[in-house]
Amino acid sequence: MNAVQFAAGGDVVVTAGYDQSIRCWDTRSNSFDAIQVVAPFKDSVTSLALHGSCILAGSVDGTVRCFDVRAGRCTSDELGAPVTVISLSRDGACVLAALAGASRLRLLDREGGALLAEYGGGERGGAAHVNRGSRCGAALTADDARVCAGGEDGRVHIWELVDAAVEAVVDAHPGKTVRRRRSMSGATSALAQSDTRVRMCAPNRCVALTATRACRQRCSRAPRTAS
């Protein structure tokens, strides 16, 4: 399983996985069977994003597909490279897609599929964004003014949304930045790294958090309860 999202006020869980499908599960039921299976993909489904009645998914087959559950309609955008991460703008009008191998990010119009901008870094003499095959985090900032993406070289690139200019390149970590999540206010970002550290970043400060050995041992011994 590659991605999980809650939908319908928490009554439905949507999952995406290596089986080239999206599956919907009823959280109120004891059944182990999905209530809906959508499988038009030709390779692993890597990421999900939800907006209203629409389920968006990125796949290694190079597509971003949008399924309108209410209208019973599916649209597909061919991007020509494996899609590892997708993220929506706050209003749901734009889709950000991270492309492995190409080390590029593309901003698409969700309704029409038009290419609005492309981000990569390095065009103006700065350090280029590196994503040759790993799944690295990418998202828009809370105000939708910038695009942020982690790379395999441990750097986090920040671009201006409209003109795609690189605003900053942060040497966040020696390992890969594999996930990025922002706080509800948008003032703080959490960066998950491949070296088991989490870095909390505010505009003027970053703090690295590392689980102690005692903490990891306690977590591994924590009792599990049957559901």
Spans of all domains in the chain? 123-227
Mean pLDDT within 150-170: 88
Q: What is the pLDDT of residues 179-208, one digit of tens each?
A: 555 554 555 656 555 556 666 666 555 566
Choice between 106 and 154, residue whose per-residue pLDDT is larger: 106
Mean pLDDT over each residue of the chain, to the nearest integer: 82
Among 2.60.40, 2.40.128, 2.40.10, 1.10.3470, what is the CATH number of 123-227? Answer: 2.40.128
Q: What is the pLDDT of residues 74-132, one digit of tens each?
A: 999 999 999 999 999 999 999 999 999 888 999 999 999 999 999 986 655 567 888 88
Choice between 152 and 121, residue whose per-residue pLDDT is larger: 152
Beta strands (DSSP E) in the chain are 3-7, 12-16, 22-26, 36-38, 45-51, 54-59, 63-68, 73-78, 83-88, 94-99, 104-109, 115-119, 138-140, 146-150, 155-160, 166-171, 177-182, 189-193, 197-202, 205-210
Which of the four pLDDT bands, split at 50, 70 and 90, describes residue 219?
A: very low
Predicted confidence at residue 168, as pLDDT, reads: 86
Q: Tell me the pTM.
A: 0.75
